Every structure is written in structure tokens, then in C-alpha cells.
Homo-oligomer: A and B are copies of this chain.
Amino acid sequence: MTTVDDLSGPARVAEAGEGITAEELRLAARNHGMPLEALRYDVTPAGLHYLLIHYDIPDLDAASHTLTVDGHVDTPLHLDLAALRARPRVTRRVTLECAGNGRTLLEPRPVSQPWVLEAVGNAEWTGTPLAPLLREAGVGDGAVDVLFTGADHGIERGVEQDYQRGLPVAEALREEPLLAYEMNGAPLLPQHGAPLRLIVPGWYGMAHVKWLRGITVLDRAFEGYQNAVAYRLRQEAGEPGVPVTRIEPRALVRPPGFPDFMSRARVLRPGPCVLDGRAWSGHAPITRVEVTTDGGDTWADATVVRSDDEWAWRRWEYPWTTEPGRYTVSARATDASGRTQPVRPQWNRGGFANNLVQRVDVAVLAG
């Protein structure tokens, strides 16, 4: 008799030199990153924002969808979309990044969604703040986690589940988290969680539960799969590990010049140009971006454009005059908490939070 265990293997790390597998490719073909030239847009257009869907996009009807708030509360609530839309409305520009961004740059490679560096986007999310709703329900004394349940259903590493994530109650009661029903001024697209999703500014993507149908206040820590098994920093398989939470600082370079189709090598003509890109952190605002064009031998400060959006990426730019030759360009972000990007990879078994500095190879051809 076939069981779940026959279909769903444990997490593993690739062998030395093992190419990307058919399984990883199937994930790459359905999920997608943001093509890095889209770093030019302050707000990422629909369809260019990164997308990571654990199971299938569920088929939900906005007209009949409801959200339940229950558990360790005084007054359970049950709201439809009209009720949520009638509540106070807030729009926030927020950078979302997948916790696995940069995974395939680790050696050995953790086998999962095979991100290179494109798993990011910056969108305008509109919805109603979460905290007042929780206060209305009345969070009981001794609440520990708030559990968010999505309508997407599947199996992961042998565990059949609806997608569920617990968030510490103190985070859930901050001002920032939203129950979002619009993205970039339009109703949520199916793949971004229609008709309702959670937005937790500053946190990696796994916290922003899509297709949200339930909120349950717990008087204990949530020990379900996505918190206790996945999304933890571990060196060895058996360790409890450290939870993945807020986004580590990262800067990306908008690839200059034009590309080769297959190698994605970047080509420039000699002369003055401006390098630019975006930088973000989920811990604190970006305060500094440094650029190197010689593979890290020397770094110089880029100009960081100020922004009032605390949880959105910031544009940076750096003037560069090129001569024929080959160059390796990188940018390195530092935030107001003092966190900065490492120049050597910090490996973990899940391939999470790898904010190693990007390296962009550029060839300047003779004019």
C-alpha cells in the first residue's frame, strides 16, 4: 500500500558536483524570481515579483471566503472580505524576499527550490492592520504565538498539512503587519494569496501566509512543520536549530549593459555609466551601500536614495567610467543595526538567509 512516506523524502544536501536535479528544475519552472533588470522599478510590476508556492495555488472565491480568529481569545471573530474591507485601510510598500534566496550559491547545495539571487520583490500592499483585530478579539494572558493558516494543502518531507506559520504574539501585535487584499492597487492575484494574505514587514517570505483563512492565538509556541522543522538554521540534520525570522541585509546590482542569452554575461561599451540597484534589510533601514568593481579588492561608497518607506528597498547608485577589460562588480549593504553582508558564505543545511555579496561579471568590449 502506498503511503505518504513513499512519495515524500527527507531534506538532503547535494553531492559534490551534482547538477541541479529534475525535482529542483520542476520547482524552478513553476516558481520564479524577479529578473534582475526589474530592479529598475521602485514598485515591482505584477508578474515580476518573486513567487514561491509550497503546494498548489488554491481556487478560492473572494465572495464566500472568510477569516476566522479564534483560540486563546475572549471573543472569536468570523469575517468575510466585505467586513475586512470596511475596516481601516492602510497601504505599505514592503520588500519581500524568500528565505531561500541565494541557496544554490552554497556549496554543498541544499536540495530545495533552487534560487540563485532573484527571489525578491517590492510591492504596495493594501489591507487592514492585524493588531486592532487581535485586540478586538481580546488576546488572552499568556498568549505565546499567533498561528496563521492558509488554504493551500500538500505534503512536505512526509508531513501532510495546510500551510501554517506561527508568529510570536509580540510581532503580531506590532503596528506593521497587515491583512492584505490588494497588491499594487489591484485585487490580489491568485498566486499572491487572493483573496487575503498576511504581510509581516521585515520578515522573510515564509511569514507572509497566503490564502489566509484562519488566525488562532496559542498559549504555547507553535510546533508545526513550517516553524519547527523547516525554516530553521542548522548545521546538522538532528539539531533543533535557530528560527529564520527577519530579512538579513542585501544589496543587488541591476546588471549593467546587455546580456548574452545563455551565459547571462554582461557586456558594456567603454565610457561613463551609472551602476545602480536596490538594498534592503528586515532589521533596520539601510544606511550604507559600498560598491566594488575589482572583485572586492577596493570598495567605495555608493549614494543611497532616502525613502520614507521603512520596510521597502532603497535605490543606490554609483558612477563608473569603464575601459575595455573584465570586471567583477558587487555591492554590499549595511543597515542601521550594524548588520552587513558577508563576503564568505555562511552555510546551513536548509540554505536559508544566505546574504553573501552578489558577484556580477562584466566584460567591457572595445568601443
Contact = CB atoms under 8 A, between A and B. Distances in A.
A56 interface: yes
* Chain A: interface size category: 35 or more
Interface in A316-332: 324-326
For A6, A28, A191, A262, which residue has the most chain B Cβ atoms within 10 angstroms?
A: A262
A333 to B, nearest CB: 21
Contact of A265 (B7, B20, B45, B115): B7
Residue among A3, A7, A22, A53 with the most chain B CB within 10 A?
A: A7
A2 interface: yes
Contact of A30 (B7, B18, B33, B57): B33
Nearest to A48: B191
Interface stretch (A69-77, A153-161, A165-173, A196-204): A153-161
A297 interface: no
A264 to B, nearest CB: 5
Contact of A25 (B20, B265, B325): B20
Interface stretch (A35-43, A136-144, A241-249): A35-43
Interface string A91-118: 0000000000000100000011011101
B20 A21 contact: yes
Given A20-B19, A29-B118, A36-B30, A4 B267 contact: yes
Nearest to A116: B29
18 contacts: A7-B267, A18-B19, A19-B21, A20-B20, A20-B22, A20-B25, A25-B114, A26-B116, A26-B264, A27-B262, A30-B32, A37-B57, A40-B59, A47-B49, A47-B192, A55-B259, A154-B259, A155-B265
Interface of A: 1-4, 6-9, 18-33, 35-38, 40-41, 45-49, 51, 53-57, 59, 104, 111-112, 114-116, 118, 153-157, 189-192, 255, 258-265, 267, 324-326, 363-366
